[in-house]
Structure 1
Amino acid sequence: MVKSRKTLSVIAASAILALAGCTSAQETGSSNPESETSSQSASAIKTIEDNFGSHEVKTPAESIVVTDNRSFEILDAWGVNLAAAPKQLIPSTIENYKNNDEIVDIGNHKEPDLEAMAAVNPDLIINGQRFSQYYEDIKKLNPDATLLEFEPRDGEPVDEELKRQTLALGEVFEKQDEAQKLVDDFDKAKARAKEAYDSEQTVMAVNVSGGEIGYVAPEKGRFFGPIFEWIGMKPALEVENASDDHQGDDISVEAIAESNPDWVLVLDRDAAVKSDATPAEQVLKDNAALQNVSAFKDNHLVFAPGDTYTNENIITYTETLNSMADEFEKAK
């Protein structure tokens, strides 16, 4: 059949368009221009505010280093892959990071291998807690990386700082909904513990390490300190010049017994770092001086999760607050 001039013109035009499309795909290095556009739009630059100001962060990051103990559990739950981390400081409960041979170990905060960190060419570093002291060194060794730190700032409420960190990480890793849920769960647990607490009962927090019992001061003491203020708990004992020492302040068990707390909150420091240590519960219950204390007679002891000392993030606090609420409610 003989084609009309009009038909031939349409065929020619179609061929030209098809050729142009092929040429365009070849120039972009892709046979699927739509896929190329989608890939380009997947990357973005975000402005994130941390302790040191505003930073531009490329998302998604390709090589990620994390040194901050408060971040590991959160990022693991979100499926974030790490290039390097101080694996000796990662809690054993976070198996995906702790036992991952593909993650380069940069040592611990006492003898860090910062060169090993630089060797993975990070484009994003989440620094903090035990590694805060190395901020300037890390920055100098990794000039092309975005360095973020959300360590709770002095003078700021710890609960708000935990939420700030969580929400910022949600922005960095495109997990805004998940981050908000962690914050909501934390707020609910805090409100629940406050509601369940009997304001007439006294509370003491202790830190057990190396078989020794240390005093954790309300407000400033390690981990449990801020909870006193959040819940409005009545301290059984207040010590002058108390600190936030990682082993607690040195007071005698006789002083603890004399204060006769109705509740004792316990942080087992060794549980997170020593597999062969005597459990805190045994240390406390085997101590003859404490046997007549109300909290021990009534079994009003609340233990923080075993990995708390190396895992003091918003999830750990949420779990602890819910445990406190459980025990307070049972006692009513």
Structure 2
Amino acid sequence: MRMILSAAVAALMASAALAEVTVETAQGPVALPGTPEKVAALDLGVADSMMALGVTPVAVPDKLYLDHLQPLAQSAAPAGTLQEPDLEKLAAIGPDLIVVANRSAVKKDAVAQVAPAIDMTVDGADLIADAKARLAGLAALFGKQAEGEALAATLDGKLAALAEAGKDKGSALVVLTNGPKMSAYGEGSRFGWIYEVTGLPQVDATLKSEANHGDAISHEFIAQANPEWLFVLDRGAAIGADEPSAQATLDNELVRRTDAWKNGHVVYLLADNVYLAPGGYTALTETLDALTAALSE
């Protein structure tokens, strides 16, 4: 009888070991007991990539912001803001796993009181590599490796097309507006990956590569730097703030003298994609498409 029980226990242990899933996260590999059925995605980029893989989260942030995420409002429960997850709502939903990233990453320990939690943050300075790694990690988590590989191949194709479009197109400056205020970002910074994927060098070598909030700049700075391309992100538009638009802020006599303005090379990117869903598959590919289209004209 004991031998039979031991064999049964051994079989169960072997089955459990086979079911275990190892996921690469922002903190390294994490072993999970199996494929979760109910996952709360407390980051828009994570929710975006899950949708691309054909997986619907059971819970998401209250505000989804991005147009292509709006269908989740009908299928997933709201569970607080990006910065403040609602633990009571999460407990009522009862997820098997909670995924945090970027803005919600600081709440990982708090939400882990409700269910196991993993952090899938992407680093803006190395966004493309991190986005690919997180996509592969989510694909492994949900047993969607084939789908993940297909999406990664499509992403690589878009990156190649953008690199080709950006050849010999001159210098660039990445600017974030926040109402009347402006910040510029250099290579290696939060939005420095835009230089990387386009192949366009930053116009001013003095920009801080480590500046998460960018360098505060003026219209005079843009005029003196005179970039051949301006890539613009409107923070106010991304979060729905009632403040002057990026177009209004940049429409200045000094900026109008730049090569970028005179040649129609001021590109207003979908700021909600870049600002709120870094690394999200659809958000990222839409941005790559927009950059390719602009540089191909």
Asked if Structure 1 and Structure 2 have the same fold, meaning a TM-score greater than 0.5 normalized by the shorter chain, the answer is yes
What is residue 124 of structure 1 aligned with on the other side?
97
Larger Rg: 1
User: Of 212, 232, 245, which residue of structure 2 is paired with 1:245?
Assistant: 212
Contact 2:24–2:134, Cα closer than 8 Å, also in 1: no
User: Of 141, 146, 163, which residue of structure 2 is paired with 1:172?
Assistant: 141
Contact 1:182–1:315, Cα closer than 8 Å, also in 2: no
Contact 2:108–2:118, Cα closer than 8 Å, also in 1: no
- Structure 1 residues 241 and 160, CA gap change in structure 2 (3 angstroms): closer
Contact 2:23–2:137, Cα closer than 8 Å, also in 1: yes
1:71 matched to 2:46? The reply is yes
What is residue 211 of structure 1 aligned with on the other side?
180
Contact 1:87–1:107, Cα closer than 8 Å, also in 2: yes
1:58 matched to 2:42? The reply is no
3-state SS of 2:143 partner: coil
- Structure 1 residues 195 and 311, CA gap change in structure 2 (3 angstroms): same
What is residue 229 of structure 2 aligned with on the other side?
263
3-state SS of 1:291 partner: helix
- Structure 1 residues 183 and 77, CA gap change in structure 2 (3 angstroms): closer
What is residue 159 of structure 1 aligned with on the other side?
128
Contact 2:177–2:235, Cα closer than 8 Å, also in 1: yes
Query: Any runs of at least 4 consecutive aligned residues in structure 1 with deviations exceeding 4 A, and if so which?
Result: none
1:289 matched to 2:289? The reply is no
Unaligned runs of 5+ in 2: 1-14
Q: Tell me which of the two structures has the higher relative contact order, counting C-alpha pairs closer than 8 angstroms and 6 or more residues apart.
A: 2
Q: For residues 33 and 235 of structure 2, what CA distance do their matches in structure 1 show?
A: 35
What is residue 78 of structure 2 aligned with on the other side?
104
- Structure 1 residues 242 and 81, CA gap change in structure 2 (3 angstroms): closer
What is residue 235 of structure 1 aligned with on the other side?
202
3-state SS of 1:131 partner: helix
Deviations 1:12-46 (A, max 9, x none): xxxxxxxxxxxxxxxxxxxxxxxxxxxx9xx9442
Q: For residues 93 and 294 of structure 2, what CA distance do their matches in structure 1 show?
A: 46
Q: For residues 120 and 184 of structure 1, what CA distance do their matches in structure 2 show?
A: 35
Q: For residues 153 and 291 of structure 1, what CA distance do their matches in structure 2 show?
A: 33
Letter in 2 for 1:174: G
Contact 1:202–1:263, Cα closer than 8 Å, also in 2: yes
3-state SS of 1:75 partner: helix
Letter in 2 for 1:188: G
Deviations 1:246-286 (A, max 9, x none): 5x3201110111111111111122222116444323332x2
What is residue 134 of structure 1 aligned with on the other side?
107
Contact 2:42–2:85, Cα closer than 8 Å, also in 1: no
Q: Percent identity?
A: 27
- Structure 1 residues 181 and 276, CA gap change in structure 2 (3 angstroms): farther
- Structure 1 residues 242 and 115, CA gap change in structure 2 (3 angstroms): same
3-state SS of 1:158 partner: helix
Contact 2:135–2:148, Cα closer than 8 Å, also in 1: yes
1:113 matched to 2:82? The reply is no
Q: CA deviation at 1:292?
A: 0.9
- Structure 1 residues 293 and 190, CA gap change in structure 2 (3 angstroms): same
Q: For residues 54 and 155 of structure 2, what CA distance do their matches in structure 1 show?
A: 21
- Structure 1 residues 49 and 235, CA gap change in structure 2 (3 angstroms): closer
Q: Alpha carbon RMSD of aligned pairs, Å?
A: 2.6
Q: How many residues align?
A: 278
What is residue 47 of structure 1 aligned with on the other side?
22
Letter in 2 for 1:132: A
Letter in 1 for 2:70: E
Q: For residues 153 and 241 of structure 1, what CA distance do their matches in structure 2 show?
A: 16
User: Of 109, 114, 120, which residue of structure 2 is paired with 1:150?
Assistant: 120
Q: For residues 119 and 218 of structure 1, what CA distance do their matches in structure 2 show?
A: 44
Letter in 1 for 2:292: A
Q: For residues 196 and 81 of structure 1, what CA distance do their matches in structure 2 show?
A: 35
What is residue 185 of structure 1 aligned with on the other side?
154
What is residue 94 of structure 1 aligned with on the other side?
69
Unaligned runs of 5+ in 1: 1-39
